[in-house]
Amino acid sequence: MANTYPLSRPIGFLHFFNSALLCFPVACFSLTVLTDIAYWRTSNLLWLHFSEWLLLAGLVFGAIALLVLLVNWLITRARPPWMATLCGIVVLLLATINSFVHTADGWTAVVPWGLAFSLLTVVAMLVTAWFGREGVRHV
């Protein structure tokens, strides 16, 4: 049962679970760009708080997804697509740094570095998706 296509269909539940988990960071980190822009345009701190919680939620689910991927690898010996995995880790690191940038009290939490990191995180997600496209459905 040598799997040349890593993480392909037969793996079943874990695979599905992981795909579901990965939706969260994708959605959260993308929305962070929008909430950051909203704060930049309005100075309304509500949007900064949205960004902070979105980053946290994305990180928590992203970390669980990474853990599941690792368990999957250990159980099934199905090597994950390494470039995509590596990029995924970069996404999480960027989002972690971004979380800390967003802890500043007010404007400097977003302008300019928070928003820059939010955009960079989305770019890193696109790169991850690119590397993950071949033979696998998820990022």
**Closest CB 4 distance from another protein, rounded Å:** 32
Nearer to another protein by Cβ, of 76 and 113: the residue is 113
Residue whose tokens read 């930049």: 40
Q: Give the three-class secondary structure for 2.
A: coil
Nearer to another protein by Cβ, of 27 and 63: the residue is 63
Asked whether 29 and 95 are in contact (CB, 8 A), the reply is: yes
Nearer to another protein by Cβ, of 66 and 136: the residue is 66
Alpha-carbon Rg for the chain in angstroms: 16
**Closest CB 17 distance from another protein, rounded Å:** 21
**Closest CB 67 distance from another protein, rounded Å:** 11
Q: How far apart are CA 35 and CA 123, in angstroms?
A: 17
